[in-house]
């Protein structure tokens, strides 16, 4: 019913920038995407998947401490797309980045917790070299 497709990953040097995009497609006319909360998660090799940034249907955002001041999440309702602008990238940001969605509002802390999300993309790789 809901499909998420990420793009925008790649390889950059430390200090560089990337913008990830995630298009959310809904195949059930009864589902209103405007009510969705959206998030970005990442998983580095050998590590658990962790929350990076999230945005609820009111535009409230939450960020992991490690990315505050460097990453910005935003959504374009007209395009059914959520973005993650990543600036001043560091080697430790290297990971597979996933987009996630859930068709309800979640607590602010929940925006970084994968247990709250029902739909997931396949991921896009970000590699930052020193």
- Using one digit for the tens of pLDDT, what is the confidence trace for 54-67? 999 999 999 999 99
Most distant CA atoms of the chain, gap in Å: 47
Radius of gyration of the chain (CA): 14
What's the rounded mean pLDDT across residues 41-57? 96
Q: Give the tens place of pLDDT for each residue, 75-120.
A: 998 889 999 999 999 999 999 999 999 998 899 999 999 999 999 9
Q: How far apart are CA 83 and CA 30, in angstroms?
A: 25
125: which strand partners? Answer: 96
Q: How far apart are CA 64 and CA 87, in angstroms?
A: 14
């Amino acid at each position: 019913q809901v499909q998420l497709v990420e793009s925008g990953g790649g390889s950059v040097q430390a200090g560089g920038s990337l913008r990830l995009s995630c298009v959310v497609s809904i195949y059930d006319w009864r589902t209103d995407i405007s009510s969705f909360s959206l998030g970005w998660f990442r998983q580095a090799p050998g590590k658990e998947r962790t929350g990076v940034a999230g945005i609820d249907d009111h535009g409230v955002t939450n960020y992991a401490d490690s990315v505050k001041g460097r990453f910005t999440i935003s959504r374009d309702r007209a395009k059914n797309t959520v973005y993650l602008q990543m600036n001043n990238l560091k080697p430790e940001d290297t990971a597979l980045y996933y987009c996630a969605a859930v068709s309800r509002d979640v607590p602010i802390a929940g925006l970084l917790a994968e247990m709250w999300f029902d739909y997931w993309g396949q991921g896009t790789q970000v590699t930052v070299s020193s």
